[in-house]
Every structure is written in C-alpha cells, then in structure tokens.
Amino acid sequence: MAVRLLFTGAFAYLLSGVMKDLVGRGRPLDYIPDLVYKDTVVRGSGFPSGHMALATALFLTLSLYLPAKYKWVAPVGILLVGLSRVQLGVHGPMDVVGGFAIGWAAVALFKFVDIRTRKNPK
C-alpha cells in the first residue's frame, strides 16, 4: 500500500506541476479583483489544483484498501478538499476538476501495475 501511495502521489504531483507550466492560467484573484482572499500568498498558475490532484490520488488509493463500510471516506475527503480550495479563493471550480482528473488518472494508471517485492533466486 505504501509503495502504491508513493507512486500515485508522486505521479499526480509531477503531472499537475507540468500541467500548470503548460496551461499557465491565472488564479481567481487575477480575474476577480474584489475577491476576498483567505489564504496565504500563493504563487504560480491556478490550473490544475495540485492539492486536489494529490488528495484525489491518495484518497482513491487508500479506498482500494479500506473495508466496504469505510469506502465513503474517499469521496467525502476529495469533495472537502475541492470545496476548501474554491472557498479559500485560490482555485476556480475548473481548476479543482482538472486536479481531480489528474489524481484519478494517476490511480487508474497504477491500479493495474503489479507492485510486489521480488525474492532473489538462489
């Protein structure tokens, strides 16, 4: 589980950074001058939300290992992270959707990769 979390989280983080450089869309404060900004100073592009990408990747990966009665934790956690990024004024709704897509893609990619330790043949 830890290795899968590492791979999905790292991939989501790196891909969101690459997408921020490629797209270069500003944050809501750049487009809405009267916006009440509730977070510390952030830098860089707004699209996609790196927090959302990482949270989605980690929550969905964890949900693969949770018992059925706790599977609800993943969508609730993802939703709360997305809403908090918009409420703080650091991302628009489409930034959050883009981050979700990247996190979901990271999980989909590594869900089917066989990650096992190999024993050394003697």
Domains and CATH numbers, the chain: 2-111 (1.20.144.10)
Note the pLDDT of residue 76.
Answer: 92
Check residue 80 and give its pLDDT: 92
What letters, b where the CB count within 10 A reaches 16 and e where it falls short, cover 64-95?
eeeeeeeeeebeebbeebbebbbebbbbbeeb
| Residue 114: per-residue pLDDT | 65
Instruction: Respond yes or no: is residue 45 known to be catalytic.
Output: no
Q: Which of 91, 95, 103, 110 is catalytic?
A: 91
Residue among 20, 27, 51, 85 flagged as catalytic? 51
Q: Would you call 91 a catalytic residue per the annotation?
A: yes
Residues of the chain with pLDDT under 70: 28, 36-41, 43, 113-122
